[in-house]
Structure 1
Amino acid sequence: MEWLQGQIWAVWLGAGITLGVLEMFSLDLILLMLAAGAFVGMTAALLGLPFAAQVLLAAGASAAMLFLVRPSVVKRLHGGPELRIGATKLVGMQGTVTDTVSALEPGRIKVDGEEWTARPFDETLIIEPGETVDVMRIDGATAYVHPLPRIES
């Protein structure tokens, strides 16, 4: 028993490594946070602190990791860019007018390598061919567009 007291740091190290390996199978980051607590317990043992202090420090570090670190890590891992598919991916893109676009008669634009029927987002505008436009909305097979401002030189 006396030998174990002198080698308790190795028990903490073994627990930390075991929890780390088991985390690879669960992938929920809980066991990894507990492993971090075990490594804190190991450090406390190497510093010569009593076993009760080692357990309290390991439990405190594990709890802190679970409640403070894990939520932000999980959010980063499970979050990502918004996936936009179909026509909605064109909203916010820029295109070029190929046929005059007006409220009375829809024109054509080329955006993302595709030709689209287009109407002006502001119905009072007439947009001439060659102008660059922003796609503001897609409604069915029609893109509602607004011209980009030009800087006159």
Structure 2
Amino acid sequence: MIFGINSLYVWVAVIIIGVAVEAFTLDLSAIWFAVGAVFALIAASIGLGLPAQLLIFVLFAAVLLILVRPFCRRFLRTKNEPTNADRIIGEPAIVIQEIDNMQETGEIKVFGQLWTARSVDDSLIPQGAAVKVIAIRGVKAIVEKV
């Protein structure tokens, strides 16, 4: 009994909470506490006392968190695939429509593609000017005049 509640219910609640937190965070942290609670639930169901249940919970959760989590994170790590946007950074481009940050206008052509553009220093850049792409913010290319 934990605070007058059957420990089986407590461990089931810990399992549900651990799985729910993991589902929301996807950090591979809370799931190990849910697994530890499963082993504590087994211990409670075979009649082990509360101190043994807590010890089993802490040991399994800690060992899994320390030993298995790094392996799983490495195995499940997603590779950061370069996108079209990554390729244009540092590349030269031609201004197709005058870039005016105050009017929120501007368009460049780079690698044959049209991009909405803004100047890095809020300067006006006329149509036909050569620019260099400095960064990408959202769907806009940030450029500086060459």
TM-score (norm: length of structure 2) = 0.50
Asked whether 1:74 is paired with 2:79, we answer no
Q: CA deviation at 1:85?
A: 8.6
- Go from structure 1 to structure 2 and tell me whether the alpha carbon gap of 1:4 and 1:43 turns closer, same or farther (over 3 Å shift): farther
Map 1:1-153; keep pairs closer than 5 Å. Answer: 4=4, 7-80=6-79
Q: Which amino acid aligns with 1:12?
A: W
Deviation of 1:64 (Å): 1.0
What is the number of residues matched between the two proteins?
A: 84
User: Please, which runs of 5 or more residues in structure 1 have no aligned partner?
Assistant: 87-153
**1:20 aligned counterpart, secondary structure:** helix
Q: Distance in 1 between matches of 2:22 and 2:48?
A: 28
Distance 1:49 1:73 in 2: 31
Question: What's the TM-score, normalizing by structure 1?
Answer: 0.48
Distance 1:2 1:37, change over 3 A: closer
Distance 1:24 1:76 in 2: 18
The residue number in structure 2 matching 1:102 is none
Measure how far apart 1:76 and its partner are. Answer: 1.0
- Structure 1 position 2, deviation (Å): 9.0
Select the structure of larger CA radius of gyration.
Answer: 1
Give the secondary structure class of the aligned counterpart of 1:33.
helix
Distance 1:43 1:2, change over 3 A: closer
1:21 and 1:2 mapped to 2: Cα distance? 22
Secondary structure in structure 2 of the residue aligned to 1:49 = coil
Cα distance in structure 2, aligned partners of 1:68 and 1:9: 27
The CA RMSD measured in Å over matched residues stands at 2.7
Call closer, same or farther: CA 1:85–1:3 in 2, change over 3 Å: closer
Structure 2 counterpart SS, 1:41:
helix
Identity percentage of aligned residues: 31
Residues 2, 55 of structure 1: CA spacing in aligned structure 2 closer, same or farther, 3 A cutoff? closer
Q: Distance in 1 between matches of 2:31 and 2:41?
A: 15
Task: Please list the CA deviations of residues 103-130 of structure 1 after superposition, one character each: whole Å capped at 9, or x if unmatched.
Answer: xxxxxxxxxxxxxxxxxxxxxxxxxxxx
Please give the alpha-carbon distance, in whole angstroms, between the structure 2 residues aligned to 1:11 and 1:84.
46
Deviation (angstroms), 1:4: 3.8
Runs of 4+ in 1 over 6 A off after TM superposition: none
